[in-house]
Amino acid sequence: MAKILKSLCAAALLALATATPLEAAVVVSSKLSSESAMLGEMIRLLLNAHGIPTVDRTRIGATPVVRQALLAGEIDLYVEYTGNAGLFFNDAANPAWKDLAQGYELGSRLDYAAHRIVWLAPARASNAWALAVRGDVAQAYRLRTMSDFGRWVSGGGDTVLICSAEFANAGTLRSLERTYGFVLHSSQLIVLAGGETAATIAAAAAGTNGANTAMVYGTDGGIAAAHLQILEDDRHDQPVYAPVPVIRESVLQQYPQIAAIVKPLMESFDRETLQRLNARVQIDGEADEAVAADYLKSKGWLN
């Protein structure tokens, strides 16, 4: 009996121990969302290709969970979005976030000073909240930008917007309304509890409950497939959410080459590229690891 107990304990400890990162391996993580996981996979594969050992701890949770894990040192690297720094440092109203370069500079300064977290090269695409209208509506009323949208709605355009509670109540919608000169009545709003743009896209595409406008993220893969037209934020009302890998300084010091490795990858992205890659995962249902490896191979960074 005692023997069995001992070996059980040993097995348990062993199992727990194997869950820990290996000595000197970089723990690469990501949020639960498919874009985050895909970018995380790309970075991990790229690091491996350059001989840096990694541990895969992707898809561990939502932003607060992953951020907490990074600050606690339980993970080393993941892809964050520049605009989120405004929330982390309670400075969301700062106009610097609306510009990619300024936002990046501000965020990386704040994060380094407060937590010794280094921001690596960002991608030039914004995954900010945006509105997308049904293709047929966009064509009929020639809607390309948010300014067009504002004109159309205030001129009596028949829009029904489906969005999340956070979008409607935390100020984003108000801000858009102010900047583009339109007001939505509550009858023109369908508010969902969660922030899943897959649901809003599907609803607008199907016209569920009359919805013809969806809250989306800039790089969502489903937009084109659902025949929606994304509306350009021509007056830069929204903060820029550019994907940016963030890493703990101590790990970067151990492997300084990471910065140089990751730079060309992030710089290769623009909004259309990310949309296309996301579409393969979200619409076509390919595995994000497969899409990641494929992309790297197509760029010649992976054999």
Interacting residues toward another protein by CB under 8 A: 12-13, 15-17, 19-20, 32-34, 57, 59-62, 65, 68-69, 72-74, 194, 196, 198-199, 201-202, 205-206, 222, 225-226, 282-287, 289-290
Q: How far is the CB of 213 from another protein (least distance, A)?
A: 17
Q: How far is the CB of 26 from another protein (least distance, A)?
A: 16
Q: How far is the CB of 71 from another protein (least distance, A)?
A: 9
The whole-angstrom separation of Cα 246 and Cα 120 is 6
The whole-angstrom separation of Cα 238 and Cα 83 is 9
Q: Between 20 and 139, name the residue whose CB sits nearer to another protein.
A: 20
Q: Between 53 and 194, name the residue whose CB sits nearer to another protein.
A: 194
Plot region of 35 (φ>0 → left; ψ -120 to 50 → alpha; else → beta)? alpha
Burial class (CB in 10 A: 0-12, 13-18, 19+), 195: middle
Query: For the residues of 208-241, what is the DSSP string, one character each?
Result: GGG--EEEEETT-THHHHTTEEEPB-TT--SPP-
Q: Between 65 and 260, name the residue whose CB sits nearer to another protein.
A: 65
The whole-angstrom separation of Cα 115 and Cα 123 is 22
Q: Between 4 and 187, name the residue whose CB sits nearer to another protein.
A: 4
Q: How far is the CB of 156 from another protein (least distance, A)?
A: 29
The strand pairing partners of 192, in sequence order, are: 164
SS3 at position 245: strand
The strand pairing partners of 60, in sequence order, are: none
Q: How far is the CB of 18 from another protein (least distance, A)?
A: 9
SS3 at position 277: helix
Q: How far is CA 121 from the centre of its chain?
A: 15
Q: Between 98 and 248, name the residue whose CB sits nearer to another protein.
A: 248
Q: How far is the CB of 206 from another protein (least distance, A)?
A: 5
Q: How far is the CB of 297 from another protein (least distance, A)?
A: 18
CB 18 within 8 A of CB 47: no
Structure-token pair, residue 214: 């969806």
Q: Between 74 and 177, name the residue whose CB sits nearer to another protein.
A: 74
Q: How far is the CB of 272 from another protein (least distance, A)?
A: 19
Q: Between 32 and 302, name the residue whose CB sits nearer to another protein.
A: 32
End-to-end CA distance of the chain: 53
Longest CA–CA separation in the chain, Å: 81
Q: Between 34 and 213, name the residue whose CB sits nearer to another protein.
A: 34
The strand pairing partners of 163, in sequence order, are: 191
